[in-house]
Structure 1
Amino acid sequence: MTEDASQQSHQFERGTDGPKVIVVGVDGSDSSLRAAAYAGGLARRQRALLAVVYVQPVLAAGAALGAPVADTTEEIAEALIAEIRDATERVKDIFDVRWEFHTFRGDPYNGLVTAADDLKADAVVVGASEQAGHRIVGSVAVRLVKAGRWPVTVVP
């Protein structure tokens, strides 16, 4: 076997037998929760791991003014985990979905990219942006699609 073929056989291969890991970004917004529900259905049907990712924003301006930013984002993460656990408990006899919750710090785009890379995601699911300014500047979803590294599903 040549060195090239040997190297290729040890590389991570995405999407050959369906997704094994589906990353979904959640931030508590309605569209992100719809995205989580959609991704949960995909994960169930594909028997994939659902990696629920919350990116804790780093708000330098708020921290500089003495605002307890880290405490607030930790509270949001804990509330999201509780909400996901409640939803999972309600449907556990109907749906069986393996899931994990991950938090990253930073801006949403870079946090989701890091999560998808670290978790070797086969697909990424996000909610459509609910902010009007993103139509001009570009939303996280658009940036993920343009990155072209994973199939990206944007849930309205």
Structure 2
Amino acid sequence: MTEQQPHQFERGTDGPKVIVVGVDGSESAYRAAAYAAGLARRQGALLAIVYIQPVMATGAAIGAPVAETTDEIADALVQEIRLATERVKDIFDVRWEFHTFRGDPYNGLVTAADELKADAVVVGASEQAGHRFVGSVAVRLVKSGRWPVTVVP
């Protein structure tokens, strides 16, 4: 007679249950969100839409209302997502949540993926030319090797 081992959680064996997508208002982020929404719908997964509010120490140092500005961006993104969801609700149903985290984009997405127990991460390709030299958020996420990462052009 063999001894049964207790069941341990194993991430990613039955398909993703939580898909994290990073949004920032850019065109590539919207394409990534659309791709992730389709993936979440097909997999029956929760779509966790994440906006990383930048921490702008220099703006705060001169008295700029940084938090209010980034909160306004987050609110505008939520409104756009709600409108898009409403437009397609009869043909495209997906469970989604919106989350905001503070920090730089890479560390913010890592924190979000960890806290939300992501099975997959979807991001848009960087639209900044300098990222060819220093590495984009997408490249850094792929290199971290912590989750399957899809980079949407």
Would the TM-score normalized by the shorter structure come out above 0.5?
A: yes
Q: CA RMSD in A?
A: 1.1
Q: CA deviation at 1:123?
A: 0.4
CA deviations 1:75-114 (Å, max 9, x no partner) are: 0000000000000000000011000000000001011001
The AA in structure 2 aligned to 1:153 is T
User: For 1:21 and 1:28, how far apart are their aligned partners in 2?
Assistant: 21
Q: Equivalent residue for 1:73?
A: 70
Q: CA deviation at 1:115?
A: 0.7
Specify every segment of 5 or more residues in structure 2 that has no aligned partner in the other structure, as ranges: none
TM-score (norm 2): 0.96
Q: Give the match for residue 127 of structure 1.
A: 124
Same amino acid, percent of matched pairs: 83
Q: Which residue of 2 aligns with 1:19?
A: 16
Aligned to 2:143: 146
Report the counterpart of residue 60 of structure 1 in structure 2: 57
Match of 1:106 in 2: 103
The count of residues paired between Structure 1 and Structure 2 equals: 151
The residue identity in structure 1 corresponding to 2:148 is P
**SS at structure 2 position matched to 1:53:** strand
Distance in 2 of aligned mates of 1:114 and 1:81? 20
Distance 1:36 1:81 in 2: 12
Structure 1: 5+ residue runs without aligned partners?
none
Report the equivalent of 2:94: 97
